[in-house]
């Protein structure tokens, strides 16, 4: 049988269900975020660990121009290097019959017969290579799905200037390409980029690589795993004579970097965001339970008179909070699991895993529930405790009237004198009920902070898109030549149908050094008046290419610790590999990748070579017939290593980002709304309950219900706006931290504000305050004034 | 269970409670208010004691101290030989739970519990409780058991409050202006109930009132004025509640 005291609790919970629901939803949102993000984090991380193990993921990648396999195998002698595997890998142009434009891809060699190798594949359809023919190919599964290509079909790749017909034997995935990005891309785009696994013997033939390879992947021995960077450096220097393009540890491998970034960011946010909600909930609950305990002062006195001990009374009030914690925790656990499934589903669109599934993590659910209970208990402690401090006899007396002295604002006489009586009343009430006001200000601050962070994130993404794709890199199609070409190659490109404008590029890979700091990357030579790649500074102004010296992007300058005027050493991978010195002329802003730009003529002089070009950027006409002709020509253009349809790529990135923004803003506004609404409704209703008699007196004096409502609105407006204003810098700080947390060599988010961020936040804060006030006004309108006026003991 | 006032006295002169030199001073900020001064009084086992005095004379403070709800600033209070002045909070809670039943002027029923549940809230913690339904019958409210306080009249609420107090089967029944909020007739009925409990069940009953006429039903009457006992009178012939006139 339910004890009488618990019956009392149940009925009171039922009576206060509106208010409790408001607090419960704040807790529920907090727990939902926690469970969803933590579960998604574990789903992703566990899937990653399983996948990497299954595919035997490499610890490093070294790309060279070309080296004999026997020489590459010698790396085994480097201490710290364990297992090795050599591969032949080249970019390729894909010519699909039903797709007008040439697509981009990467070919990678695999042993002719199934062998255990590093970065192995997992077959999804069909099988491994057979001995029937040499020209067999295994496609990455996403590309095959996007183009409905099945084993048994033939496809055409442009390999080493020759159009090759390949027989599809299977589709596969590999941990190496969990997040598969084409050159210059930001989100996977299986429509436009694929990976093609070729038989080793076939690759040797096609690329003229008999007994040679251009990539070695390997693992570090476990005992020397701590010195991986030094090991990699040793391995790299051993291969120096073969021209090392890049030596990439797993940490910097693109797919891994995006995946790790997501996992780590998720892990960090999974703690911060729920903490915000639970802290707000605890504070708001504190206000409610304190009010409840004070309201029940006489009941508490009676219970004590009946012989109830302090512990029993205390527990009774804590149970009130606990009921909120249990409800919020359970709702949060259920919603969180559902949200985790949704998030995991979204991740499946971006990351290719063999078995990324939403699992029920009991430990996370339990932690979510426990944290919610702790938050509820902490929120109840103050109120419950305050009642225990009273002697039973004291508790039996009605509460003495609250102190009604002057508040500190009144010392500012010039201000105070100019305030109307209603404003004075509102300000006095705000300043006298400190805890309640602090809770309201804190909640509004957190709500506004969340909104600012979210809106700034949107602004950052839009700025990023605009800066990177509409101002800095503006070409429609980028071509990369297989070998360096002379000026005539550019003229040939210019003559292609549909090409409006073409500019040359000279990309020189090499090693930058500034003292002990070094970095492998490339200098991109551009025409001084280039308009398809235009570096910009942080103010968004175009940077003219200097006659001499380099324009270095910010992230690169930070890594190398250089400033304008400093001199960098650069050792190119190609040619004689003579180390040259170049001064840093300007720092450019860039949010994607690491690059240095230079005048193409200066760069050629610097390397002591004739003007050569490695690629071309095209601006094309948009008429479909012209484009179709251009695409047709490009598919058959010799000497081209890869073709990047930047227009499609940018459209895909923009579409993906905008789609996600829409959902993101929706969720954000709902979450912030829960905080604002829950907190304002709670504090205003508590305020109203405490001042029922006062309100009734005002009614008796002839005030309308609306003018009484306006008094309460003033109070919630003061705390809410103060909190929202404080939330603006807090949100800015949170965005800064988020941007730092997510920053990597591939992408960084700009921290920029815009007027709309601030105005939208304040407008939403006002809107939520008005919506919450609607509930309060309704209570005022339906209040029984005569009852409230009756003198109670 | 009605009794006539002509019955022989049922008190033995053994004190159940002994107050010696009890004083109580309240400190409010910088002001000290002396509410009780040097009260010495024995409350006898089984007697019906009335305390009368104007408001502010210290009646409720004595009742709170006797009921273990408050502690004196000076002096001592012995209950059955046990010193309440030095008792711990836990011991005082136990004392209130097992020995004392309170009846309040404004009934102090828990608004969210029915009449029956308001009694259960008391019996659930008692050492030797009586049956809640029997208590409701005793106060004549068996048909109102499932009503909430807001659905009961003042007199009915006070009867529930008395039922709640005696359901724990306490030795001592402390009533603070039990008829103060009731009309004349209802007040008399409540008084009759208290007299019956005293006579039939042998409960020691202490009633405080500012209404001197009510005191005529008591065995002894303590008059309080400004925190002191101004007069203590024996009443060898208490009248029946029905005869009280005010």
Question: For A135-182, how does the pLDDT look when each residue is reduced to its tens digit (9 = 90+)?
Answer: 999 999 999 999 999 999 999 998 888 889 999 999 999 999 999 988
CB contact under 8 A, B97 and A303: no
Q: Examine the pLDDT at A542 and tell me if it is beyond 70.
A: yes
Of the candidates A257, A286, A304, which is a domain's last residue? A257
Nearest-angstrom CA–CA distance, B191 and B3: 13
Question: Is A12 in CB contact (< 8 Å) with chain B?
Answer: yes
Same domain, A585 and A685: no
CB contact under 8 A, A307 and B98: yes
Distances in Å between the Cα of A218 and the Cα atoms of A56, A107, A129, A173, A248 are: 10, 19, 23, 19, 11
**Kind plus residue range of the DSSP H or E element containing A480:** strand A477-485
Same domain, A71 and A220: yes
Helix, strand, coil share (%) of chain A residues, nearest 5: 55, 20, 25
Contacts of A301 in chain B (CB under 8 A): 69, 108
Provide the pLDDT for residue B11: 55
Q: Is residue A627 part of a domain?
A: no
Q: Is residue A767 part of a domain?
A: yes
Same domain, A601 and A739: no
- Two tokens, residue A188: 């996977």
Q: Is residue A10 part of a domain?
A: no
Provide the pLDDT for residue A400: 66
CB contact under 8 A, B69 and A307: no
CB contact under 8 A, B125 and A312: yes
CB contact under 8 A, A306 and B122: yes
CB contact under 8 A, A392 and B112: no
Provide the pLDDT for residue A786: 72
Residue A394 CB neighbours (<10 A) = 16
- Two tokens, residue B36: 């009780």
What chain B residue is nearest to A389 in terms of C-alpha separation?
B89
Reported as a pLDDT band with limits 50, 70 and 90, residue A404 is: low
Of B69, B113, B117, the CB nearest to A392: B69
Residues 6 or more apart in contact with residue B122 via CB below 8 angstroms: A306, A307, B129, B164, B165, B167, B168
The nearest CA of chain A is from the CA of B92 a distance in Å of: 8
Q: Is residue A615 part of a domain?
A: yes
Residues 6 or more apart in contact with residue A430 via CB below 8 angstroms: A437, A715, A718, A719
CB contact under 8 A, B70 and A15: no
Q: Are strands A477-485 and A550-553 parallel, antiparallel or unpaired?
A: unpaired
The nearest CA of chain B is from the CA of A771 a distance in Å of: 31
Same domain, A98 and A146: yes
- Give the whole-number percent of chain A exceeding pLDDT 70: 98
Question: Is A130 in CB contact (< 8 Å) with chain B?
Answer: no
pLDDT in tens, A658-670: 888 888 888 889 9
Reported as a pLDDT band with limits 50, 70 and 90, residue A249 is: very high
Q: Is residue A397 part of a domain?
A: no
> Which residue pairs from A396-399 have beta carbons closer than 8 angstroms and sit at least 24 positions apart in sequence?
A396/A298, A396/A301, A396/A302, A396/A305, A396/B64, A396/B69, A396/B104, A396/B108, A397/A301, A398/A297, A398/A298, A398/A792, A398/A793, A399/A294, A399/A297
Dihedral sign for Cα A541, A544, A548, A550, please. Answer: positive
Provide the pLDDT for residue A483: 85
Same domain, A615 and A728: no
- Two tokens, residue A668: 């954000």
Q: What is the mean pLDDT of residues B121-148?
A: 89
Q: What angle do CA B118, B123, B125 make, to 5 degrees?
A: 115
Provide the pLDDT for residue B24: 94
Same domain, A660 and A558: no
Q: Which position has the higher pLDDT, B162 or B180?
A: B162
Q: Examine the pLDDT at A1 and tell me if it is beyond 70.
A: no
Nearest to A607 by CA among A634, A629, A586, A582: A582
Q: Examine the pLDDT at A600 and tell me if it is beyond 90.
A: yes
Contacts of A399 in chain B (CB under 8 A): none
ipTM of the complex: 0.82
Reported as a pLDDT band with limits 50, 70 and 90, residue A363 is: very high
CB contact under 8 A, A12 and B164: no
| Lowest mean per-residue pLDDT among A233-247, A554-568, A737-751 | A737-751
Contact by Cβ (8 Å): A354, A54? yes
Q: How many residues does chain A have?
A: 793
Grouping H, G, I as helix, E, B as strand and the rest as coil, residue A666 is: helix
Provide the pLDDT for residue A405: 62
CATH topology assigned to domain B44-71+89-243: Rossmann fold (3.40.50)
CB contact under 8 A, A8 and B112: yes
Reported as a pLDDT band with limits 50, 70 and 90, residue B174 is: very high
What chain A residue is nearest to B119 in terms of C-alpha separation?
A4
Using CB atoms within 10 A of its CB, is residue B235 exposed (0-12), middle (13-18) or buried (19+)? Answer: middle
Nearest-angstrom CA–CA distance, A336 and A274: 11
Of the candidates A257, A279, A307, which is a domain's last residue? A257
What rounded mean pLDDT belongs to chain B? Answer: 87
Of the candidates A239, A257, A275, which is a domain's last residue? A257
Provide the pLDDT for residue B164: 92
Nearest-angstrom CA–CA distance, B197 and B168: 13
Of A3, A307, A396, the CB nearest to B96: A307
Provide the pLDDT for residue A793: 37
The nearest CA of chain B is from the CA of A39 a distance in Å of: 42
Q: Is residue A554 part of a domain?
A: yes
Nearest-angstrom CA–CA distance, A414 and B32: 39
What chain B residue is nearest to A400 in terms of C-alpha separation?
B28
Q: Is residue A338 part of a domain?
A: no
Nearest-angstrom CA–CA distance, A85 and A117: 7
Same domain, A717 and A793: yes
Q: Which residues of chain B have a Cβ shorter than 8 Å from any chain A Cβ?
A: 61, 64, 67-71, 89-90, 93-98, 100, 102, 104-106, 108, 110-113, 117-118, 120-122, 124-126, 164, 168
Provide the pLDDT for residue A703: 80
Q: What is the mean pLDDT of residues B60-82?
A: 91
Of A4, A298, A393, the CB nearest to B69: A393
Of B67, B94, B124, the CB nearest to A3: B124
Q: Name residue B224's beta-bridge partners.
A: B229
What rounded mean pLDDT belongs to chain A? Answer: 88
Question: Is A301 in CB contact (< 8 Å) with chain B?
Answer: yes
Contacts of A7 in chain B (CB under 8 A): 112-113, 117
Q: Examine the pLDDT at A422 and tell me if it is beyond 50.
A: yes
Provide the pLDDT for residue A396: 75
Of A7, A298, A310, the CB nearest to B89: A310
What is the Cα gyration radius of chain A? 33
What chain A residue is nearest to B109 in terms of C-alpha separation?
A299
Phi/psi at A426 (nearest 5 deg)? Answer: -65, -45
Domain boundaries, chain B: 44-71+89-243
pLDDT in tens, A252-262: 899 999 999 88
pLDDT in tens, A617-672: 999 988 888 888 888 888 878 788 888 888 888 888 888 888 888 888 888 899 89
Q: What is the mean pLDDT of residues B134-162?
A: 90
CB contact under 8 A, A306 and B113: no
Same domain, A677 and A543: no
Nearest to A691 by CA among A467, A337, A324, A433: A433
Provide the pLDDT for residue A88: 96
Question: Is A298 in CB contact (< 8 Å) with chain B?
Answer: yes
Q: Is residue A174 part of a domain?
A: yes
Provide the pLDDT for residue A22: 85
Provide the pLDDT for residue B2: 42
Distances in Å between the Cα of B112 and the Cα atoms of A290, A639, B144 are: 19, 87, 15
**Ordered alpha helix ranges (H), A296-351:** 297-306, 310-350
Residue B156 CB neighbours (<10 A) = 19
Q: What is the mean pLDDT of residues A45-66?
A: 94
DSSP characters for B214-229?
GGGGSSEEEEEETTEE
Contacts of B110 in chain A (CB under 8 A): 8, 299, 302
Distances in Å between the Cα of A452 and the Cα atoms of A9, A444, A687, A731 are: 39, 12, 29, 5
- SS3 annotation, B87-152: CCHHHHHHHHHHHEEEECCCCCCCCCCCHHHHHHHHHCCCCCCCCHHHHHHHCCCHHHCCCCHHHC
Q: Name residue A247's beta-bridge partners.
A: A62
Same domain, A559 and A653: no
pLDDT in tens, B5-28: 444 445 556 789 999 999 999 887
> Where do we find the tokens 């000076």?
B74
Contacts of B104 in chain A (CB under 8 A): 302, 305, 396
Q: Examine the pLDDT at A57 and tell me if it is beyond 90.
A: yes
pLDDT in tens, A660-718: 888 888 888 998 999 899 888 888 888 888 888 888 888 877 788 888 899 899 999 99
Phi/psi at A773 (nearest 5 deg)? Answer: -65, -30
Of A8, A302, A394, the CB nearest to B108: A302
The nearest CA of chain B is from the CA of A37 a distance in Å of: 41
The nearest CA of chain A is from the CA of B39 a distance in Å of: 19
- The total of structural domains in chain A comes to 3
Of A5, A307, A793, the CB nearest to B97: A307
Nearest-angstrom CA–CA distance, B69 and A396: 9
Reported as a pLDDT band with limits 50, 70 and 90, residue B1 is: very low
Q: What is the mean pLDDT of residues A519-540?
A: 89
Reported as a pLDDT band with limits 50, 70 and 90, residue A455 is: very high
Contacts of B64 in chain A (CB under 8 A): 392-393, 396
Question: Is A396 in CB contact (< 8 Å) with chain B?
Answer: yes
Q: Which position has the higher pLDDT, A388 or A345?
A: A345
Same domain, A452 and A503: no
Residue A483 CB neighbours (<10 A) = 9
Provide the pLDDT for residue A403: 58
A685: domain range? 433-473+646-793
Q: Examine the pLDDT at A414 and tell me if it is beyond 90.
A: no
Contact by Cβ (8 Å): A715, A424? no
């Amino acid at each position: 049988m339910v004890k009488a005291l618990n019956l009392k609790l149940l009925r009171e919970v039922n009576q206060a269900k509106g208010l409790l629901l408001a607090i419960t939803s704040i807790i529920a949102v907090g727990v939902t975020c926690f469970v969803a993000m933590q579960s998604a984090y574990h789903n992703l991380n566990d899937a990653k660990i399983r996948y990497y193990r299954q595919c035997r993921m490499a610890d490093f990648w070294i790309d060279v121009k070309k080296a004999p396999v026997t020489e590459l195998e010698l790396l085994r002698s480097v201490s710290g290097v364990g297992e090795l595997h050599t591969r032949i890998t080249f970019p390729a142009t894909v010519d699909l019959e039903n797709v007008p434009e040439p697509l981009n891809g990467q070919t990678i060699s695999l042993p002719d017969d199934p062998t255990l190798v590093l970065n192995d594949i997992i077959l999804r359809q069909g099988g491994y290579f057979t001995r029937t023919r040499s020209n067999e190919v295994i496609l990455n599964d996403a590309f095959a799905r996007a183009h409905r290509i099945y084993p048994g079909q033939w496809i055409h790749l442009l390999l080493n200037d020759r159009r090759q017909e390949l027989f599809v034997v299977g589709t596969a995935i590999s941990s190496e390409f969990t997040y598969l990005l084409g050159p210059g891309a930001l989100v996977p785009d299986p429509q436009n980029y694929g990976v093609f696994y070729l038989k080793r013997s076939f690759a040797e033939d096609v690329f003229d690589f008999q007994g040679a390879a251009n990539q070695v992947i390997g693992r570090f021995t476990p005992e020397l795993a701590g010195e991986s960077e030094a090991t990699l450096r040793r391995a790299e220097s051993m291969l120096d004579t073969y021209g090392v393009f890049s030596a990439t540890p797993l940490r910097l491998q693109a797919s891994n970097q995006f995946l790790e970034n997501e996992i780590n960011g998720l892990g960090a946010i999974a703690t911060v965001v729920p903490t915000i909600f639970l802290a707000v909930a605890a504070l708001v609950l504190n206000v409610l339970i304190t009010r409840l305990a004070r309201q029940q002062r006489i009941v508490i006195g009676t219970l004590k008179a009946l012989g109830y001990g302090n512990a029993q009374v205390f527990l009774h009030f804590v149970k009130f909070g606990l009921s909120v914690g249990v409800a919020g925790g359970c709702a949060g656990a259920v919603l969180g699991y559902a949200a985790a499934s949704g998030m995991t589903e979204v991740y499946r669109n971006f990351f290719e895993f063999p078995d990324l599934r939403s699992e029920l993590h009991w430990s996370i659910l339990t932690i979510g529930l426990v944290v919610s209970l702790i938050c509820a208990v902490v929120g109840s402690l103050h109120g419950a405790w305050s009642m225990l401090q009273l002697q039973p006899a004291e508790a039996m007396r009605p509460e003495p009237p609250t102190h009604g002295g002057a508040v500190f604002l009144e010392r500012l006489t010039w201000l105070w004198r100019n305030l109307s009586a209603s404003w004075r009343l509102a300000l006095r009430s705000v300043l006298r009920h400190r805890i309640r006001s602090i809770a309201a200000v804190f909640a509004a601050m957190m709500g506004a902070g969340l909104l600012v962070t979210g809106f700034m994130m949107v602004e950052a993404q839009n700025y990023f898109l605009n800066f990177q794709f509409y101002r800095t890199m503006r070409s429609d199609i980028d071509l990369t030549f297989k070998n360096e070409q002379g000026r005539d190659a550019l003229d040939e490109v210019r003559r292609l149908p549909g090409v409006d404008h073409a500019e040359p590029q000279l990309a020189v890979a090499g090693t930058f050094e500034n003292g002990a700091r070094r970095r492998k990357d490339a200098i991109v030579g551009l025409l001084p008046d280039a308009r398809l790649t235009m570096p910009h500074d942080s103010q968004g102004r175009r940077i003219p290419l200097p006659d001499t010296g380099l324009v270095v992007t910010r992230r690169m300058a930070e890594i190398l610790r250089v400033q304008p005027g400093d001199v960098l050493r650069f050792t190119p991978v190609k040619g004689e590999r003579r180390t040259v010195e170049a001064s840093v002329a300007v720092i450019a802003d860039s949010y994607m990748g690491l690059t240095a730009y230079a005048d193409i003529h200066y760069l050629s002089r610097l390397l002591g070579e004739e003007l050569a070009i490695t690629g071309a950027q095209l601006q094309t006409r948009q008429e479909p017939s012209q484009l179709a002709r251009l695409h047709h020509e490009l598919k058959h253009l010799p000497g081209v290593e890869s073709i990047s349809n930047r227009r499609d790529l940018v459209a895909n990135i923009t579409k993906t980002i905008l789609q996600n923004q829409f959902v993101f803003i929706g969720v954000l506004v709902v979450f912030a709304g829960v905080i604002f609404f829950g907190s304002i409704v709670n504090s205003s209703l508590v305020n109203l309950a405490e001042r029922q008699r006062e309100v009734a007196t005002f009614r008796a004096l002839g005030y309308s219900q609306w003018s009484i409502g306006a008094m309460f609105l003033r109070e919630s407006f003061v705390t809410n706006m103060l909190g929202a204003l404080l939330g603006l810098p807090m949100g800015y700080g949170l965005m800064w931290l988020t941007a730092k947390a997510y920053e990597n060599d591939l992408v960084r988010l700009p921290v920029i504000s815009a007027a709309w961020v601030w105005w939208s936040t304040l407008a939403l804060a006002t809107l939520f305050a008005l919506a919450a006030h609607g509930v309060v006004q309704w209570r005022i309108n339906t209040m029984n004034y005569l009852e409230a006026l009756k003198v109670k003991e | 269970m009605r009794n006539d006032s002509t019955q022989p006295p049922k008190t033995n002169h053994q004190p159940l409670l002994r107050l010696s030199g009890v004083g109580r001073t309240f400190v409010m900020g910088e002001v000290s208010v002396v509410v009780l001064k040097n009260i010495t009084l024995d409350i006898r086992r089984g007697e019906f004691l009335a305390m009368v005095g104007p408001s502010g004379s210290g009646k409720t403070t004595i009742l709170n101290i006797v009921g273990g709800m408050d502690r004196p600033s000076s002096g001592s209070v012995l209950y059955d030989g046990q010193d309440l002045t030095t008792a711990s909070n836990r011991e005082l809670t136990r004392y209130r739970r097992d020995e004392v039943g309170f009846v309040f002027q404004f009934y102090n029923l828990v608004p969210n519990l029915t009449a029956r549940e308001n009694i259960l809230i008391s019996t659930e913690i008692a050492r030797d409780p009586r049956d809640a339904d029997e208590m409701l019958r005793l106060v004549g409210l068996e048909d109102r058991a499932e009503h909430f306080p807001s659905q009961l009249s003042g007199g009915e609420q006070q009867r529930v409050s008395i039922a709640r107090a005696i359901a724990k089967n306490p030795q001592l029944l402390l009533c603070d202006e039990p008829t103060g909020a009731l009309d004349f007739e209802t007040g008399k009925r409540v008084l009759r109930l208290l007299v019956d409990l005293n006579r039939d069940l042998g409960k020691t009953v202490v009633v405080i009132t500012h209404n001197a006429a009510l005191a005529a039903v008591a065995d002894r009457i303590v008059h309080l004025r400004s925190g002191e006992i101004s007069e203590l009178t024996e009443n060898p012939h208490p009248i029946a509640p029905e005869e009280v006139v005010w």
